[in-house]
Structure 1
Amino acid sequence: MADGLQIAIRTLLAVVVLFTITKILGKRQVSQLSLFEYITGITLGNLVAYVSMDLNTEWYLGLIALGVWSLVSLGIEFLQLKSKKMRDFLESKGRVLIKDGKVLEDNLKKERLTTDELMEQLRKKMAFRVADVEFAIMESSGDINVLLTRENQPITARHLGIKVGPEQEPQAVVMDGKVMDEPLATMGLSREWLNKEMEKIGVTVENIYLGQVDTYGEFYVDLYDDQIKVPIPQEKASLFSILKKCEADLMLFGLTTRNKKAKEMYERCAAQMVGIIEDLRPVLQR
């Protein structure tokens, strides 16, 4: 067999084996790899190159080496799942770098981290002053996570005492001009509903690059032609304005009527409408 053909066959075989091993070992981002996983990745790459290019040795020896490394890696991962001590030994523990706005210089030295590198990582977390940081820790992956002081944390609805409606992930019901039936069924919707929504905005399914339905059944589309402007769904805003108008009408009827019982009824209904609007506000004003 010609050397070139033999190398091609070996390379294809090595790629298949490496892909299979990678699927078995699982997937992680490079920043999440432990030291042993990093070493394993480098070793597997070298072994694949050995299997592909070294024609002077038997190719199956490289596959055996790949298998042994894979089994060792799986064994290490199993031990990590079962033992906290093993996780700490292989991945090390997180180390606190800042506490109560004070830099812990000794811990910086242990991690061989300079002040410039620390400040760079803090700026990535939108913390430009050490005094604004309540707590910072270097994780075993090397990432630095930051907890800002209470006054420097972003304001949320909870801080303002505002209730917000629950949120679920939107479903892509149209993709590349094709209707996705499974996400539609997940949302409890049908193709007839989708066709009506497309008629409202005047588009056909072939013109839609991506169409999504949110938690509240509103349909958002991105078209192939970016020059076409698609109206933003206004159902929730319209319903909110109708409810506010009903509230105003009930209050007006209560003010203008001379019948005492009717006035009490209108005022009672207006108060109930206010309660309904407040209950629905987190949903209607998202």
Structure 2
Amino acid sequence: MPDWLIIVIKSVSLLVVLFALTKLLGTKQLSQLNVFEYITGIVLGGIVAVHTIDPDGTIAYAFIAMFIWFIVPYGVEYISLKSKAFRNFTEGKSTVFIQDGKIMEDNLKKAGYSTDDLLEKLRDNNIFLASDVEFAVLEPSGALNVLPKRENRPLTPKDLGLKLAPQKEPQTVIMDGNVLHEPLANLNLNINWLETELEKMDVSLENVFLGQADTNGQLYVDLYDDMIAVPNPSEVPLLLATLKKAQADLELFALATDNQTSKSMYERNSKRLQQAIDMITPYMT
């Protein structure tokens, strides 16, 4: 068998095995690597590279070496899930750099971080004054997580006493001109609803590159032809505006009539409608 064909066969075989082992080790290998996982990844890649370019090498030896470097990390990961002490040994522990607004110089030295390194990590978190930080911790992955002081955090609706409706993630219901039925079902919607919404926009399904729907039943589309303008969904704002107009009309009717019974009815229903508007407004904005 020619050497080039041997190399091709070995490359494909070892690549398939490497892919399978990486999948078995989990997606953690692809995101945040600790020291042990980093070494494992390098060695597995090295084994594949060495045995790929050597046509005289025995591929069985490569499989044995890769199996060893798979089973050991797999066993380490399994034990780490069961033992906190073993996990701290293999993955390392978090190191506090700033606590109660004060920099922990001894912890910086133990982690091998200089003041410039700390400031660089803070800038990565959009913080340019160390005095703005309440707490900062270096994770075993090397990422620095920062908690700004309370006065330096962005305002949230909770800080303002606002109650917002729960919101689920939007669903992609059209992709490349094709309807995705499962995301539609996740929003309790169907193809008839989708066709109706597209008709309102005067858009055909084949012209839609991407279509997404939110939990309020609002459809947002992007067309293949970027020159065509698509109106933004307006059903929810129109419904809220209609309710407010109805409430205002009831107040006007109460002011315009001299019949006390009718006036009382209009005022009572106006207050009820206003209460309903106040209740549903967080869900419609």
Pick the TM interval, shorter chain: over 0.9
Partner of 2:56: 56
Partner of 1:87: 87
Partner of 2:210: 210
- State the alpha-carbon separation in 2 of the partners of residues 19 and 89 from structure 1: 28
Q: 1:51–1:62: 8 Å Cα contact kept in structure 2?
A: yes
The amino acid across from 1:58 in the alignment is T
The amino acid across from 1:174 in the alignment is I
CA deviations on 1:87-124 (whole Å, 9 max, x unpaired) are 11111111111112211111111111121221121122
Partner of 2:248: 248
The amino acid across from 2:284 in the alignment is L
Q: How does 1:57-72 map to 2 (within 5 A)?
A: 57-72=57-72
The amino acid across from 2:63 in the alignment is L
The answer as to 2:268 corresponding to 1:235 is no
The answer as to 2:123 corresponding to 1:161 is no
The answer as to 2:39 corresponding to 1:16 is no
CA deviations on 1:235-260 (whole Å, 9 max, x unpaired) are 11101111111111111112222122
- State the alpha-carbon separation in 2 of the partners of residues 4 and 164 from structure 1: 64
Partner of 1:258: 258
CA deviations on 1:57-76 (whole Å, 9 max, x unpaired) are 32101101101111111101
- State the alpha-carbon separation in 2 of the partners of residues 109 and 228 from structure 1: 60
Partner of 1:181: 181
- State the alpha-carbon separation in 1 of the partners of residues 202 and 28 from structure 2: 43
Partner of 1:122: 122
Number of equivalent positions: 285
Partner of 1:45: 45
Q: Cα offset for 1:261?
A: 2.2
- State the alpha-carbon separation in 2 of the partners of residues 36 and 242 from structure 1: 62
Partner of 2:281: 281
Q: 1:51–1:63: 8 Å Cα contact kept in structure 2?
A: no
The amino acid across from 2:153 in the alignment is Q
Q: 1:91–1:140: 8 Å Cα contact kept in structure 2?
A: yes
Q: Which segments of 5 or more consecutive residues in structure 2 lack a partner in the other structure?
A: none
Q: Secondary structure of 1:11's match? A: helix
Q: Cα offset for 1:283?
A: 1.4
Deviates more, 1:230-239 or 1:186-195: 186-195
Deviates more, 1:165-174 or 1:23-32: 23-32
Q: Cα offset for 1:20?
A: 0.8
Q: Secondary structure of 1:96's match? A: strand
Aligned sequence identity (%): 49
Q: Secondary structure of 1:112's match? A: coil
Q: Tell me the TM-score normalized by structure 2.
A: 0.97
The answer as to 2:143 corresponding to 1:143 is yes
Q: Secondary structure of 2:215's match? A: coil
Superposition CA RMSD, Å: 1.3
Partner of 2:35: 35
- State the alpha-carbon separation in 1 of the partners of residues 23 and 104 from structure 2: 41
Q: Cα offset for 1:30?
A: 5.3
Partner of 2:112: 112
The amino acid across from 2:51 in the alignment is V
- State the alpha-carbon separation in 2 of the partners of residues 204 and 12 from structure 1: 45
Q: Cα offset for 1:28?
A: 2.8
Q: Secondary structure of 2:142's match? A: coil
Q: Cα offset for 1:150?
A: 0.9
The answer as to 2:11 corresponding to 1:5 is no
- State the alpha-carbon separation in 1 of the partners of residues 16 and 87 from structure 2: 30
The amino acid across from 1:234 in the alignment is S
